[in-house]
Amino acid sequence: MNKFLNIKKQTLIIIFISLFMSNCAYHKIEKLQEMPDSTNKFSEELSHAYLKFALSEMNEMHDEIDAAYFADKGINAKLNKKVYPEEVKNWDIANNYIKEANDKRNKILDFHNSKLLKNHPQILAKTQIGFDCWLEQLEEGWQDEHIKDCYEMMNNNLNKMAKIIRNNNDDKNISSKPKITNEEAQQIKEIKEIKKITNIDNKQKFEIYFAHDKFKLDFNLQNKLNDIIKKYAEAENTIFEIIGHTDTSGTKEYNLILSKLRANSVKQFLLKKGLSAYNISTFYYGETKPKIQTKDGIKEPQNRRVEIFINNNNKISQL
């Protein structure tokens, strides 16, 4: 009888604790849902991510303890308190995951301290919630699909943030003006902005592509130009129209100069090969006529180009 009573007593205690935790999680989630939006964009994104995770833990996983815990993190985020990714040592995960988990956490903390990432609050929030979710699922250790999903959320957004940082550093390495010689500065003064390329159907068109932030002709580009010259430069009335372009990384002012420099590099190469300046017209578009449409600040190889239009009717495009 005593054994039966003890079992019954233990069962009642477990039921009571479960009901208490469920009620606790419910009220914390309800509190989080009713709180006003945070004035901090990252805090707001993070609180929303923790709310979604807490709801999933309570309604789908029936894990009221973790639901209440992550709801608390969401509440703190709403209050604009510093909310960091979970400490790896606080979770009982397999030893083979510990080093990677600490490395990932350190990367996230680095991004926390980056001013640039304040402009990307949603990506940073998704990275952190993915990390916390990954640790929580690793500790439970049996839902392989959930472990994978959480890891991919964390890792994909970590990669996005790394790319943002990398692109920003590339742009910082570009000075306000390209480094050029006095001779090049004088040469590009002659290059005009073009409004429209006319009579396209009667012109041969070629394109050559440049590396990021480059305008000098490498060996491969010189070979391509040599092939064009051999085929088309013999006729006295052949006109070479050369138009420089850039992608949208860097400022518009910088790209305007860079597109002129690219057009000028081709012109100077043609002059050295014996073509007359009378037969060469150089123009620029800067970043305004991309081959591939992109947002501002995007490095796109196909937009870093010079177009070469060749015609033998002595008609120059519209300035």
3-state SS, residue 45? helix
Q: What are the structure tokens assigned to 87, written together?
A: 């400490």
pLDDT tens, residue by residue, 198-234:
777 778 899 999 999 999 999 999 999 999 998 887 7
Residue 143 scores a pLDDT above 70? yes
What number is the average pLDDT over the span 265-294? 93
Enumerate the domain spans of the chain.
2-173, 182-311
Q: Residue 254's closest CA among 209, 204, 297?
A: 297
Highest mean pLDDT among 14-18, 285-289, 315-319: 285-289
Task: Give the chain's mean pLDDT.
Answer: 84
Which residues, 6 or more positions from 12, have their beta carbon under 8 angstroms from its beta carbon? none
Beta strands in 83-209 (DSSP E): 192-193, 204-209
Give the pLDDT mean for 122-147. 94
State the CATH architecture for 182-311: 2-Layer Sandwich (3.30)
Question: In angstroms, rounded to a whole number, what is the distance separating the alpha carbons of residues 44 and 132?
Answer: 17
Q: How far apart are CA 125 and CA 42, in angstroms?
A: 7
CA dihedral 112, 114, 119, 123 (to 10 degrees): -40
**What is the per-residue pLDDT across 119-129, written as a single tens digit (0 to 9) for each?**
899 999 999 99
| Residue bearing the bigger pLDDT, 113 or 41 | 41
Distance CA 70, CA 55 (A): 9
Predicted confidence (pLDDT) per residue in 32-89, tens digit: 899 999 999 999 999 999 999 999 888 887 788 888 899 999 999 999 999 999 999 9
Q: What's the whole-model pTM score?
A: 0.52
Amino acid occupying residue 296: D
Instruction: Look at residue 8 and tell me whether its pLDDT is greater than 80.
Output: no
Give yes or no for a contact between 85 and 132, defined as CB atoms under 8 angstroms apart: yes
Backbone angles phi, psi at 163, to 5 degrees: -65, -40
193: left (phi over 0), alpha (psi -120 to 50) or beta: beta
pLDDT for position 282: 93
